[in-house]
Structure 1
Amino acid sequence: MLSLKVLDLSYNNISGVIPKSLERLSYLKIFYASFNILEGEIPNSGCFVNFTAKSFMNNYALCGSPRLQAQPCKNNIPRQNNKALLHALKYIFPVFGSIIIVVALIIVYKKWKNKTTSGFDDNNFLGSGSFGSVYKGILAKGTEVAVKVFNLDLDEAFRSFDVECEVMGKILHRNLVKVITCCSTIDFKALVLEFMPKGSLEKWLYSDNHALNLLQIINIMIDVASALEYLHFGSLVPVVHCDLKPSNVLLDNDMVAHVGDFGIAKLLGEGDSMKQTMTLVTIGYMAPEYGLAGIISVKSDVYSYGILLMETFTRRKPTDEYFSGEMDMKRWVKTSLSGGINSVVDPSIVQEKDEYIVIKTIMDLA
């Protein structure tokens, strides 16, 4: 026990306090106790000085240091009164908290229903996907967010919502879209997401009002590769995104790319390199082994990344009507490389002839 390095207790409905004896685990480097019903003071010495707010978020009544984004501990309350107060709060907080959440969700839900399939105000509509629509919203403090409302007429929407909540609760990276919170009732499910003001990579590729230069494209592709590297090898549980494409690559104000939409993602078990599944993968970005046997692995995402690279530099979708029969995007680019890369690369991104050499190297890799 004393040599323990990783302890993940999140999503286990654990109640009570965090034992101070855990401070003695000097080898403990990774600790998660989020999404439980813990209360009391968060230990503040030993290995706990290295843990962040992410380790303790979404709990019942934890208190501690401001750096952990927890409420301050009221140590000045007499012991006797403290016990009585905590006993009362155990009943008061859940009741009032539940009422507030239910009322808030009903208000949001009614606004959504009043617009029928249009969702919230049409002016705030950002886009739609396989399982619902996304709208722009503003929190009480003025923070802009994206609200993804699931279409519960679709059976797959329930599973997609559960997957996104589970996956995004386990991962955190600068190149992944952050889930701020999940909202769920019997007939309403939504995710509140970090807002990406520059929109999707798809918008920049296929809109006449937007244009990317070579340096921006390379930086975006590096950001996406960094996100995949983290999902596959940097998180506690390997995650396969399963649906990497331009519409799921979102850009912030600084044109930094963030990978989003984990609705069909798969968590690989410890030691697993692949999994057989019937996930709904987007045609054109799907690895051959999935199409033949329904097998997904981290290599599936790598294949999709190669298609994404080719699409970004050619501005041609893998589902383009040009590709039929045996001719697909991969074969088209490979054939063109020997005859001259300039025949397939979008000319608007090339400023100097020397840049074709850089692009050819990248396309060879793709």
Structure 2
Amino acid sequence: MLRNIRHQNLIKIISFCSQIDFKAMILEYMPNGNLDKWLHSPNFSLNILQRLNIMIEVASALEYLHHSYEVPIVHCDLEPSNILLDHEMGAHVADFGIAKLLGAGDSITETITLATIGYMAPEYGMEGFVSTRGDVYSFGIVLLETFTTRKPTDEIFDGEMSLRQWVANSLPESLVDVVDANILGTLEDHGFVSKDCLTLIMRLALACCVESPEERTSMQEVAATLNKIKIKFLKGTAVG
């Protein structure tokens, strides 16, 4: 199935080997590693536009999986380490080890396979319910992490405080308190435009990872909104 799907932002499976004592997939090489490295390793940094482009490409890949293939495909384990970056910093969604196919007419299924703590939707972790809305939740968490560089499992989050709540409490007045310090210089360079776009990004992320699956937006809407934010950012910085 993975060899049949075609999208520029999905990892390309070149071939595979399946023997009794050895199984492997041959994937396209990604020289810039994964998003996790660029967010959390010393000496690596991404500006606002690079982060926005990466998340637009991830949203495009998920939109394709959810809405453009003959049956919906749910990734089930989206996190920064599963977003690989090519030589031009283009994003490719990888690691479909626990992905699920939804049958014709199905919008939800059940599984006992658990995804990564902090990124999986509440209904997935508690009841094993899998749907495209679960990927939307994971995307929202990754989007928050991409612009704050705070993992959802960070030690500052315990009890009632979560990454989502921490960001929600900061909007709109205290946005600079949660945004990654490496991009605060861009805020100063472009003033209102950058801050306004970052606020829109954070609000979109929060809308993706609300508790109720029914209240989450679709990846089609997410991709469209991110592209609008990018246009707004480019127009504003060009004028600035």
TM over 0.5: yes
Alignment correspondent of 2:112: 278
Q: Does 1:252 align with 2:98?
A: no
Query: How many angstroms apart in 2 are the aligned matches of 1:206 and 1:263?
Result: 24
Which of 37, 62, 65 is the equivalent residue of 1:203? Answer: 37
SS at match of 2:198: helix
The aligned runs of 1:124-135 (5 Å cut-off) are none
Deviation, structure 1 residue 335: 0.9
Alignment correspondent of 1:36: none
Which of 201, 206, 216 is the equivalent residue of 1:362? Answer: 201
Alignment correspondent of 2:75: 241
Report if the CA contact (8 A) 1:277-1:296 is conserved: yes
Of the two structures, which has the highest relative contact order with CA contacts closer than 8 Å and spacing of 6 or more?
Answer: 2
Q: 1:197 to 1:308 in 2, by over 3 A?
A: same
Report if the CA contact (8 A) 1:311-1:317 is conserved: yes
Query: How many angstroms apart in 1 are the aligned matches of 2:124 and 2:114?
Result: 10
**Per-residue displacement from partner, 1:61-115 (whole Å, max 9, x unpaired)?**
xxxxxxxxxxxxxxxxxxxxxxxxxxxxxxxxxxxxxxxxxxxxxxxxxxxxxxx
Report if the CA contact (8 A) 1:177-1:194 is conserved: yes
Identity value in percent: 59
Which of 191, 207, 222 is the equivalent residue of 2:25? Answer: 191
Letter aligned with residue 191 of structure 1: M
Report if the CA contact (8 A) 2:2-2:13 is conserved: yes
Query: How many angstroms apart in 2 are the aligned matches of 1:347 and 1:208?
Result: 13
Deviation, structure 1 residue 220: 0.4
SS at match of 1:325: coil
The aligned runs of 1:210-225 (5 Å cut-off) are 210-225=44-59
The aligned runs of 1:269-348 (5 Å cut-off) are 269-348=103-182
Query: How many angstroms apart in 1 are the aligned matches of 2:198 and 2:172?
Result: 14
Query: How many angstroms apart in 2 are the aligned matches of 1:222 and 1:259?
Result: 12
Letter aligned with residue 363 of structure 1: M
Report if the CA contact (8 A) 1:198-1:255 is conserved: yes
Aligned Cα root-mean-square deviation (Å): 1.0
Deviation, structure 1 residue 240: 0.2
**Per-residue displacement from partner, 1:31-56 (whole Å, max 9, x unpaired)?**
xxxxxxxxxxxxxxxxxxxxxxxxxx
Deviation, structure 1 residue 347: 2.0
Q: Does 1:168 align with 2:2?
A: yes
Alignment correspondent of 1:144: none
* TM-score, structure 1 as length reference: 0.54
The aligned runs of 1:80-91 (5 Å cut-off) are none
**Per-residue displacement from partner, 1:241-273 (whole Å, max 9, x unpaired)?**
000000000111111100000000001101110
Deviation, structure 1 residue 172: 1.4
SS at match of 2:92: strand
The aligned runs of 1:93-132 (5 Å cut-off) are none
Deviation, structure 1 residue 338: 4.1
SS at match of 2:171: helix
Which of 60, 71, 85 is the equivalent residue of 1:226? Answer: 60
Report if the CA contact (8 A) 1:268-1:274 is conserved: yes
Report if the CA contact (8 A) 2:114-2:128 is conserved: no
Q: If each structure's helix is expressed as a fraction of its own residues, which one has the higher value?
A: 2
Report if the CA contact (8 A) 2:114-2:124 is conserved: no
Report if the CA contact (8 A) 1:170-1:236 is conserved: no
| Displaced runs of 4 or more, over 6 A | none
Query: How many angstroms apart in 2 are the aligned matches of 1:316 and 1:236?
Result: 36
Unaligned residue ranges in structure 1 (runs of 5+): 1-166
Q: If each structure's strand is expressed as a fraction of its own residues, which one has the higher value?
A: 1
Query: How many angstroms apart in 2 are the aligned matches of 1:348 and 1:290?
Result: 33
SS at match of 1:313: helix
Query: How many angstroms apart in 1 are the aligned matches of 2:7 and 2:166?
Result: 34
Report if the CA contact (8 A) 2:77-2:98 is conserved: yes
Query: How many angstroms apart in 2 are the aligned matches of 1:301 and 1:365?
Result: 14
